[in-house]
Amino acid sequence: MLTLQAFVIGLLQGVTEFLPISSSAHLIVFPRVVGWTDPFLNSAAFDVMLHAGTLLALLLFFWAELWRLLLAWLGSIGDRRIGADPERRLSWFLLVTIIPGAVLGVVGEKYFDTYFREHLMLIAVFIVLGAAALWLAEGMAARRREPGRELGRMRLSDAVVMGGAQALALFPGISRSGITIAGGLSVGLRREAAARFSFLMSVPIIAGAVLVKSRELAGGGLAGSDVLPLLAGMAGAALAGVLSIKFLLDYLRRHTTMPFIVERLIVAAVVVVLVLSR
């Protein structure tokens, strides 16, 4: 039963990590709604494997693009020149986006891992704030006369804005993909371009989180009975993650993020009901 629960939670992680609806909020609320109380589902080891699954999804989906960006970055170092090469510029922009989240994560780690997750009403507030950010960004995009820009026309200031937005995703309920897509829309990127850059910039930040948390767990050991649920959670996150990435990139070529804004408001209402019904 635990392995099945872990797989379902993994699927939920893979879907909500990449759709702009907040993975942390859903993973906190869903087990409480369905009555899954096994401590394993809230363990640090399981959290690491879920994020490892979403990282695997990113690497599987974007492997060719990531390889080109890595070669472009190495080439810029070797030549000591970025120039007008869009892939060289994009590779450095991705590095810029890491800085705000890394700094805020180090400074407020204990609060993000404990305090905010224990206060559901605050999570409901963050869910609504994330929805408001998307709504405002969609309004800005709708009022813009010219079409949004593609990644090849991205500027350093765009990367700074999206990197700062990514740092805000440390607050449970904000949604990393949601707030970074909102940031991309606000600076004039097309929806699909904003989502693609959002996914690419999540690779180093998720990889860093997996590495740090794995090192913290090293030496603690695992019970033999935990291995299968851990692998099930990781597999579920990877499978759902790949499908979610493909879906969202295709969807945003033709549609707005309005359905996700509505979904966020519904989830926030559910959280409020949970708190008030205690």
Domain boundaries, the chain: 2-276
For residue 276, name the pLDDT band (cuts at 50, 70, 90): confident
Question: Quick one: tokens of 256?
Answer: 């707005």
- Among residues 134, 191, 202, 143, the alpha carbon closest in space to that of 167 is found at 202
Residues 178, 133: contact at Cβ < 8 Å? yes
The structure tokens 């809230």 sit at 42
pLDDT at residue 245, rounded to an integer: 97
| Listed range (140-144, 205-209, 221-225) with the worst mean pLDDT | 221-225
User: For the residues of 204-227, what is the DSSP string, one character each?
Assistant: HHHHHHHHHHHHHHTTS---GGGH
164-170, Cβ contacts within 8 angstroms, sequence gap of 24 or more: 164/100, 166/97, 166/100, 166/101, 166/201, 166/202, 166/205, 167/100, 167/101, 167/103, 167/104, 167/105, 169/101, 170/101, 170/104, 170/105, 170/108, 170/112
pLDDT at residue 130, rounded to an integer: 95
Q: What are the residues facing 189 on neighbouring strands?
A: 149
pLDDT at residue 236, rounded to an integer: 97
pLDDT at residue 115, rounded to an integer: 63
Q: Residue 118: pLDDT above 80?
A: no
| Listed range (69-73, 122-126, 209-213) with the worst mean pLDDT | 209-213
Q: What is the mean pLDDT of residues 103-116?
A: 65
Model pLDDT for residues 23-71, shown as the tens digit of each residue: 888 888 888 888 888 888 888 889 899 999 999 999 999 999 999 999 9
CA 190, 191, 196, 200: dihedral to nearest 10 degrees?
90
Residues 195, 248: contact at Cβ < 8 Å? yes
Q: Residue 221: pLDDT above 70?
A: no
